[in-house]
Amino acid sequence: MGDWPESERPAAFIYEEIEYPNGMFGSHLTSSKQMKGEAGKKVYQRFVKGKSSLNKYQHHMIRDMAYFEALYNEMLNDKKAKVETLEGLKKGREAMRMSLNISPKAKSSEAVLKFWATGKMLYAAYKKNKKKKKKKAKKLTPEITERAAVLANLKKQIATAKVNAQRAATIKAQENIEGGN
């Protein structure tokens, strides 16, 4: 990035000084490098290590999109960052922005605030729903629990039967193709 003059860069590759939302970065993280490191850890933890839980904890995923946005922005401030790396991050950033209908041309500060606020709202909804589920779980009788287990087992058997039927159909189709030659 150090070799690419800021006057020649597209707007998406120009660093923006952002005042991040309260609670996003601790007060001890003040430098761009520290914030980049913290954002990188959050992004790695959520989107690489914890990608299997993205649907379960959507509030965390949306919130961590704000960290992805911060990571990209802080990398723009790093003179040693490679343009190729930034181009890859930019594609991911645009895909994440599209999920919340945020314009690719919007400022990073706007995107960070939208992701952060949406994540906070989803977290509040998650907490309320979790409380409701706990109350409902207490009312379940052993008979209903047993029925749920039987139903889950039946669903698993149906899914297995579907897979086996598809395999059988594929094998039969392959035999017909080979027999026709």
Has this prediction a pTM greater than 0.85?
A: no
pLDDT tens per residue, range 44-87: 888 888 888 777 888 888 889 999 999 998 988 888 888 888 88
Dihedral sign of CA atoms 151, 156, 159, 160 in order = negative
Q: Region 6-16: what's the mean pLDDT?
A: 83
Q: Rounded mean pLDDT of 100-121? A: 90
Beta carbons within 8 Å of 25's beta carbon, 6+ residues apart: 35, 38, 39, 70
Say if residue 103's pLDDT is above 60.
Answer: yes
pLDDT (mean) for 15-36: 85
Q: Please write the tens of the pLDDT for every residue from 75-100.
A: 888 888 888 888 888 898 899 889 88
pLDDT at 1: 65
Mean pLDDT of the region 121-139: 78
The domain locations on the chain are 6-137, 140-180
